[in-house]
Structure 1
Amino acid sequence: MDTVNQYTVAIIQAGSEMMDKEKGTDKAIRLINEAGANEAKVMVFPEAFIPCYPRGMSFGAVVGSRSQQGREDFQRYWENSIHVPGEETERIGKAAREANAYVVIGVIERDSEYSGGTLYCTVLFFGPDGTLLGKHRKLKPTGSERLIWGEGDGSTMPVFETPYGRIGALICWENYMPLARAAMYEKGIQIYVAPTADHRDTWFASIQHIAAEGRCFVLSCNQYATKDIYPDDIASRPEFEQLPHEMTRGGSCAVNPLGEFIAEPVFGREEIIYADINLDKIPEAQFDFDPVGHYARKDIFKLHVDERKQV
């Protein structure tokens, strides 16, 4: 496989079409088309872009009880989550093919193998021929996310060999899991995609650290979302009066293998952020630190990853 050392990536900071998988897929395709017209070869979307990251929604749950209205909210969320593969993945794949680009997008995946009742926070990878290359399911939902999403396992932790480098992803606070990061480094990741819902200042210190630790490019992608994109009839809507208008401020960016921003965080708006990648910067950075090579001390430390399918 011939390597293209220099190219452009698109980090697509946009809000979801809340609770509407059809409109969400339409929006994703429009954005892929726009980034393709600007010759981006790798495109990255936020965590849970289709149908949404339900920030601020309680689903009517407190410890020990759930409300009927909250169950109805979950039913709506479940109905607008997608099968993988399915109609939505076919449409996104077609858009990736027309753009001749790799597309990495966060979705909520409906279990298609067992009962169908479990949802997963998933990242999908599409090739420039439109093929669904594979997926990564979030290993550990954070906090209240555990109420609505199941846990992935080691069978969906891929890193894909592409002409634009080896591409893989960890989602949001998975990036705080040292051994999950180590597993990505062991697979030789070069384009480390970090779809997220975290817009706090501490997130940027983390992704700069990951880039420097992994000697890889990190593409961090978040949504920009305000309260007015939420449906009026969700059960949690009255609780939103206490929340700020700007629910997620963005902060998408790109970092080079020395931990330096090559695209500064963008706040307060939807925007496609473009960054130029030069894969030659990776061996330059590995000159004095290679986390799985001369700096690894494999005579002392061993990493075991169980990649068997568990569920």
Structure 2
Amino acid sequence: MQTIKAALAQISPVLLNREATLLKVAQYVHDAADKGCQLVAFGEALVPGYPFWLERTDGARFNDDKQKKIQAEYAKQAVQIERGDLEPLCEVAKQKNIAIYLGIIERPSDRGGHSLYCSMVYISEKGQIASVHRKLMPTYEERLSWSPGDGHGLVTHSLGEFTVGGLNCWENWMPLARASLYAQGEDLHVSIWPGNLKNTYDLTSVLAKEGRSYHMAVCGLMRPTDVDVTLPELAELADADEAFFANGGSCIANPDGSWLIEPQTECEGLFIAELDHASVRRERHNFDPSGHYSRPDVTQLTVDRRRQATAVFKDE
């Protein structure tokens, strides 16, 4: 496939409800596939939601009972891949022959089973979980809830003529993280965000032009009215005097930096565009960041992609 159709799924989660949010995700995957898409992407931490409460409920208060209650529920609703939480979604991807990028809060057993990671999961069109990238460094107040990740998920995937890769939110500001994907031939970059126009408007087109790649920026959406009022610890969010915690901003930039889909705000929806690999090849004529315009004899990047663990067991 020299051309593919790609979809930005800009949706809100069912906050702190893993199963309901995954059902909503599956509905949008079905819709994207039925519209002929080969790829659909969702925002950062969508399942079971971004921790908007941290900056609104005094999240830095140490050993606070309220914060511990919220975090305990967050962990309960987080995704455990080993348990099979994503298997139904993998089956949808396989049945519909569509690839998925999904932002989750992961609670992995390989790190003890209680700490949380902001992870970006790639499910192939064959229904296989092909990579799980744990965010290298949570941003600012996110560190009150999420743990730092590792380089294990800094990989790319083939989709038609394209080589796709992605990063979580402010990781997209990290030049070396981007360079690790460029070096693997990335020509379609997917950045996922909790959602805000201020994050995607300036950066998306610049990074598309830097990589001479298509850049899909996919955002979530969140309003006070999306907060379940039966969750007493989150009452301050439900009562907030603001229209949006996250107003979207999903968009796609062409390899020359021009807009293919301009940033979409304040609405849920599926935004679809056709990507032509010939556009990448045209723009790589005068600049290729890891090809003819690189100088590996002068500068070279080393990436440790081992999954980090606190213990290595040798039983034999």
TM-score, normalised relative to structure 1: 0.94
Query: Matches of 1:90 and 1:242 in 2, distance apart?
Result: 36
Q: Please, which runs of 5 or more residues in structure 2 have no aligned partner?
A: 310-316
Partner of 2:120: 123
Provide Cα deviations, 1:61-103, integer angstroms capped at 9, x if missing partner: 5556232121111111101001114332101101111221111
2:228–2:238 Cα contact (<8 Å) kept: no
Partner of 1:246: 244
Partner of 1:271: 269
Query: Matches of 1:155 and 1:65 in 2, distance apart?
Result: 31
Amino acid at match of 2:91: K
1:60–1:67 Cα contact (<8 Å) kept: no
Provide Cα deviations, 1:9-28, integer angstroms capped at 9, x if missing partner: 01100000100001011101
Partner of 1:166: 163
2:287–2:293 Cα contact (<8 Å) kept: yes
Q: Percent identity?
A: 26
Partner of 1:301: 299
Q: List aligned pairs for 1:1-311, cutoff 5 A.
A: 4-58=1-55, 61=58, 63=60, 65-201=62-198, 203-232=200-229, 233-238=231-236, 241-311=239-309
In the TM superposition, residue 238 of structure 1 has moved relative to its aligned partner by 2.7
Query: Matches of 2:227 and 2:259 in 1, distance apart?
Result: 32
Extract structure 1 runs of 4+ deviating beyond 6 A: none
Query: Matches of 1:118 and 1:239 in 2, distance apart?
Result: 24
Amino acid at match of 1:205: D
Query: Matches of 1:63 and 1:278 in 2, distance apart?
Result: 46
User: Which segment drifts farther, 267-276 or 82-91?
Assistant: 82-91
User: Which segment drifts farther, 192-201 or 218-227?
Assistant: 192-201
- Are residues 67 and 239 of structure 1, via their aligned partners in 2, closer, same or farther at CA, if it must alter by over 3 Å? farther
Query: Matches of 1:89 and 1:253 in 2, distance apart?
Result: 26
Q: CA RMSD in A?
A: 1.7
2:5–2:274 Cα contact (<8 Å) kept: yes
Q: Please, which runs of 5 or more residues in structure 1 have no aligned partner?
A: none
User: Which segment drifts farther, 78-87 or 266-275?
Assistant: 78-87
Q: Does the residue aligned with 1:44 lie in a helix, a strand or coil?
A: strand
- Are residues 206 and 168 of structure 1, via their aligned partners in 2, closer, same or farther at CA, if it must alter by over 3 Å? same
Provide Cα deviations, 1:11-53, integer angstroms capped at 9, x if missing partner: 1000001000010111011111111110100110111111001
Query: Matches of 1:274 and 1:114 in 2, distance apart?
Result: 37
In the TM superposition, residue 242 of structure 1 has moved relative to its aligned partner by 5.0
Query: Matches of 2:124 and 2:192 in 1, distance apart?
Result: 18
In the TM superposition, residue 237 of structure 1 has moved relative to its aligned partner by 2.4
Q: Does the residue aligned with 1:66 lie in a helix, a strand or coil?
A: coil
Q: Does the residue aligned with 1:235 lie in a helix, a strand or coil?
A: helix
Amino acid at match of 1:307: R
Aligned length, in residue pairs: 308
- Are residues 234 and 5 of structure 1, via their aligned partners in 2, closer, same or farther at CA, if it must alter by over 3 Å? farther
- Are residues 54 and 243 of structure 1, via their aligned partners in 2, closer, same or farther at CA, if it must alter by over 3 Å? farther
1:56–1:240 Cα contact (<8 Å) kept: no
1:137–1:151 Cα contact (<8 Å) kept: yes
Query: Matches of 1:27 and 1:240 in 2, distance apart?
Result: 21
Amino acid at match of 1:36: A
TM-score, normalised relative to structure 2: 0.92
Q: Does the residue aligned with 1:151 lie in a helix, a strand or coil?
A: coil
- Are residues 243 and 174 of structure 1, via their aligned partners in 2, closer, same or farther at CA, if it must alter by over 3 Å? farther
In the TM superposition, residue 164 of structure 1 has moved relative to its aligned partner by 4.5
Query: Matches of 1:14 and 1:63 in 2, distance apart?
Result: 28
- Are residues 239 and 37 of structure 1, via their aligned partners in 2, closer, same or farther at CA, if it must alter by over 3 Å? closer
In the TM superposition, residue 60 of structure 1 has moved relative to its aligned partner by 5.6
In the TM superposition, residue 216 of structure 1 has moved relative to its aligned partner by 0.9
In the TM superposition, residue 58 of structure 1 has moved relative to its aligned partner by 4.7
Q: Does the residue aligned with 1:113 lie in a helix, a strand or coil?
A: helix
